């Protein structure tokens, strides 16, 4: 008898949240990476506020994208290496529910803190206060897509011992639209222009990824487990 999607999602998510809590130092690495990049960037281009504020949307978004990618490789790898992923796949729980739960926890542990902290760190680059809400909302929608799309890449490369580079090559082209529309939304808000259309596109990406990414990740995991 198969387990429902809801109970399966809840059990896997609860388990992964407990694991992330026990590894709090590792979970903080993406946030620390984002802070380091944003804090060091003025040393390379100079401290002039007018220069930094002009490039702040792109810098923050690139740093957030790379910070999210930093932890994506381990999304399924630890469970794959110790054999627990194979046991989960053999359980009555649908594999796509497992993939969705793991990608959801990845966003909760990595993407959500990045989205919340981005407006705070953007102040170091003199991003105008009028763009802070646009940055927050675009990050919330964009990081959902980053976690979901990154989950597909992590599932495809989970069987490779050194799949981190291949993972980056696979998912970075798919991250580009999120980067383009995310930074465009923030840049428009910084110049006093409407940014809701760019945010709507990001929300559309998130909904599309939420629909398709768990199924694609489950299929990739099944290939690796059966192989």
Helices 132-156 and 74-81: angle between axes, nearest 10 degrees: 30
| Alpha helices in the chain, H assignment, sequence order | 5-22, 24-27, 29-45, 49-70, 74-81, 84-90, 95-106, 112-122, 132-156, 164-190, 196-226
Contact indicator for 137, 195 with CB cutoff of 8 Å: no
Contact indicator for 34, 124 with CB cutoff of 8 Å: no
pLDDT of residue 182: 96
pLDDT of residue 227: 59
152-179 per-position pLDDT tens digit: 999 988 877 776 788 888 899 999 999 9
How far apart CA 227 and CA 220 sit, in angstroms, is 11
How far apart CA 68 and CA 77 sit, in angstroms, is 16
Residue ranges of the chain with per-residue pLDDT less than 70: 1-9, 163, 227
How far apart CA 114 and CA 173 sit, in angstroms, is 21
């Amino acid at each position: 008898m198969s387990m429902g999607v809801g109970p399966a999602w809840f059990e896997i998510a609860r388990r992964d949240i407990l694991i992330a809590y026990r590894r709090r130092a590792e979970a903080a690495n993406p946030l620390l990476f984002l802070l380091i990049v944003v804090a060091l960037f003025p040393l390379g281009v100079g401290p002039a506020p007018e220069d930094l504020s002009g490039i702040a949307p792109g810098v923050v978004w690139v740093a957030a994208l790379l910070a999210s990618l930093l932890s994506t490789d381990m999304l399924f790898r630890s469970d794959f290496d110790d054999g627990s992923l194979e046991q989960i796949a053999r359980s009555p729980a649908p594999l796509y529910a497992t993939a969705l739960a793991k990608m959801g926890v990845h966003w909760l542990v990595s993407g959500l803190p990045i989205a919340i902290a981005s407006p705070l760190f953007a102040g170091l680059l003199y991003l105008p206060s009028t763009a802070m809400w646009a940055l927050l909302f675009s990050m919330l929608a964009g990081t959902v897509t980053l976690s979901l799309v990154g989950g597909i890449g992590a599932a495809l490369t989970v069987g490779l011992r050194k799949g981190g580079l291949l993972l980056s090559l696979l998912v970075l082209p798919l991250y580009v639209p999120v980067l383009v529309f995310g930074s465009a939304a923030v840049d428009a808000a910084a110049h006093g222009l409407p940014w809701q259309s760019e945010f709507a596109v990001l929300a559309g990406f998130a909904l599309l990824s939420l629909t398709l990414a768990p199924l694609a990740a489950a299929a990739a995991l099944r290939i690796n487990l059966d192989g």
